[in-house]
Chains A and B, each alone.
Chain A
Amino acid sequence: AQTVTQSQPEMSVQEAETVTLSCTYDTSENNYYLFWYKQPPSRQMILVIRQEAYKQQNATENRFSVNFQKAAKSFSLKISDSQLGDTAMYFCAFMKPPPGANNLFFGTGTRLTVIP
């Protein structure tokens, strides 16, 4: 099984500030996909951002961006201009491409609190 490590169980950030969540993974695959999912108190899993390993350009979605370092097997999430609604658990996830289960391997999550 693939291993995804999130070394920060909890983090906090002041509203409007920037925060970076860390994620590393272990794989022998050359092509794969990486995701960050957000889980607010409602417990719904919401996709924040995705990255294909064959793309060198870092993905960006509004206030969310990633720093993808393929050689280092690192995939960090940066949240800019943090908002109270960003308070949630954040999960980093890895997916091998087809064939196969094409399922997600999740890290253990980082609980982010945005402080007013």
Chain B
Amino acid sequence: DADVTQTPRNRITKTGKRIMLECSQTKGHDRMYWYRQDPGLGLRLIYYSFDVKDINKGEISDGYSVSRQAQAKFSLSLESAIPNQTALYFCATSDPSGGNHEQFFGPGTRLTVL
């Protein structure tokens, strides 16, 4: 089974709808991240969390909110989706305590807002 999972894998929604993207991990990592990938722009940080009580905005947080329901779960919400939020969304986890700064990515959610 994958260590970092995302649901749904693909989603088409309409402008103005509320949508939630979910991320779960079995790696036991405290740190979780949400990134957005747009063509030609690479991945950019939306939000990050170091534990269930520690949530921080990233570079492009406007229009998004997050919830850290448990160590293993980190959800991203679009309160009122708009077409320019059409993108590929990735969740990632890490545990730098042992000196390994690798981030482990989920399979991504492709979101289309019509």
Cα distance A102–B110 when bound, in Å? 25
Which of the residues A35, A44, A91, A98 comes within 8 Å of B42, measured between beta carbons? A91
Given contacts A44-B107, A44-B108, A45-B90, contact A102 B44 (CB under 8 A): no
Residue of A nearest to B9 (CB): A43
Q: Does A16 contact B (CB under 8 A)?
A: no
CB pair A104–B43 under 8 Å, yes or no, is yes
Residues of B within 8 A of A95 (CB): 101
Interface size on A, residues (CB 8 A): 22
Residues of A within 8 A of B56 (CB): 101
Interface size on B, residues (CB 8 A): 25
Q: Which of A1, A95, A104 has the most CB of B within 10 A?
A: A104
Q: Does A80 contact B (CB under 8 A)?
A: no
Q: Does B102 contact A (CB under 8 A)?
A: yes
CB pair B96–A98 under 8 Å, yes or no, is yes
Residues of B within 8 A of A50 (CB): 101-102
Residues of A within 8 A of B98 (CB): none
Residue of A nearest to B88 (CB): A43
Q: Does B112 contact A (CB under 8 A)?
A: no
Residues of B within 8 A of A103 (CB): 33, 45, 48, 58
Which of the residues B42, B45, B105 comes within 8 Å of A101, measured between beta carbons? B45
Besides the contacts A4-B42, A45-B105, what 13 more A-B pairs have beta carbons closer than 8 Å?
Answer: A43-B88, A43-B108, A43-B110, A45-B43, A45-B92, A91-B43, A101-B45, A101-B56, A103-B45, A104-B45, A104-B103, A108-B42, A109-B42
List A residues at the B interface (Cβ < 8 Å): 1, 4, 33, 35, 42-45, 47, 50, 91, 95, 97-98, 101-104, 106-109
What are 7 of the A-B contact pairs (CB < 8 Å)?
A42-B107, A44-B105, A50-B102, A98-B96, A101-B48, A101-B58, A106-B44
